[in-house]
Amino acid sequence: MHEAAIRAQVREAFSRYPKRSYDKGQILVFSGEEPEHIFYMLNGKVREYGITYRGDEVVVNVFKPPAFFPMSWALNRTPNNYFYRTEEPTELHVVPAEAAVAFLQANPEVTLDLLSRVYRGVDGLLGKTVQLMSGTAKSRLAHEVLIECQRFGVKQTDGSLRLEATESDFAARSGLARETVSREMQKLKAEGCVDVTAEGVSVTDTARLEAIIQGEPS
């Protein structure tokens, strides 16, 4: 089944459940809380994150439509150790976990699509792990910038990719200090990978970011 048809099937199945709207910054699920349902996103963006002993946020994932979450809890009753917070105004359907699981069991093509997206996410996490274990601050940041391009970059008329993420966002996603991100972002700018202005970050050379991640010399 085509991806668009699968998404339409999921949207139709979950549209029978209550729809809720949330402003930016609202927490949908708290760490340690056992959710009563899963969320199916219609629009918006949701951040999944943990809090370190120092009180810093560490971002695990950022969901965009047509995601539904937290599926690990719904499928396995895995204890929830993360917060889920809206990053912008967001609309979601609230679906009983049992109904979501039953829908996946009855529709293997939807389950396969979900599994495919999970594996894409796992590939990103494996790349992050490699960078955490052996990368430099610059390569760690380059990895996060490239992932942001692939998932949320908006192509501009000049061919660059506009990112909404701030340096604080990249700090939370890479585990680097805010000051380190600012310093390394200037290095990426000097190498022609990005353009950093008061309006935000534009990526101008994704191939160079790939080379940095692979450890190729400048």
pLDDT digits (tens, 9 = 90+) for 15-74: 999 999 999 999 999 999 888 899 999 999 999 999 888 888 888 889 999 889 998 888
In this structure, are 11 and 118 located in the same domain? yes
Average the pLDDT over 140-167 and give the result. Answer: 89
The tokens for 44 are: 């918006």
Average pLDDT taken over every residue of the chain: 89
Does residue 116 share a domain with residue 178?
no
Give the model's pLDDT for residue 95: 95
Decide if pLDDT at 1 tops 90: no
pLDDT value, residue 42: 94
- Check: pTM over 0.85? Answer yes or no: no
Domain count, the chain: 2
The answer to whether residues 157 and 99 belong to one domain is no
CATH (domain of 167): 1.10.10.10
Q: Same structural domain for residues 104 and 10?
A: yes
Classify residue 218: in a domain, yes or no.
no
Residue 156 within a domain: yes
- H helix or E strand, kind and range, residue 3: helix 3-14
| 8 A C-beta contact, residue 162 and residue 154 | yes
Q: Are residues 19 and 112 in the same domain?
A: yes
Q: Percentage of residues in the chain with pLDDT exceeding 90? A: 48
d(CA 34, CA 19) in angstroms, rounded, equals: 20
For residue 103, pLDDT over 80 is answered with yes
Q: What is the pLDDT of residue 190?
A: 92
* Residues 6 or more apart whose Cβ sits within 8 Å of residue 93: 14, 15, 17, 18, 19, 20, 39, 40, 42
What residues make up the domain containing 165? 135-213
- Residues 200 and 173 both lie in one domain: yes
In a domain, 128, yes or no: no
Distance (Å, rounded) from C-alpha 31 to C-alpha 24? 18
Could you tell me how many residues make up the chain?
Answer: 218
Q: What is the pLDDT of residue 45?
A: 94
Same domain, 20 and 117: yes
Q: Give the pLDDT score at 20.
A: 96
For residues 22 and 33, give the distance between their C-alpha atoms in angstroms, rounded to a whole number: 19
pLDDT band at 205 (very low <50, low <70, confident <90, very high): very high
127 or 98, which is more confident:
98
Tell whether 8 is covered by a domain. Answer: yes
Q: What is the pLDDT of residue 86?
A: 97
Same domain, 13 and 110: yes
The Cα 68–Cα 70 span in angstroms is 7
Position of tokens 């039953």? 102
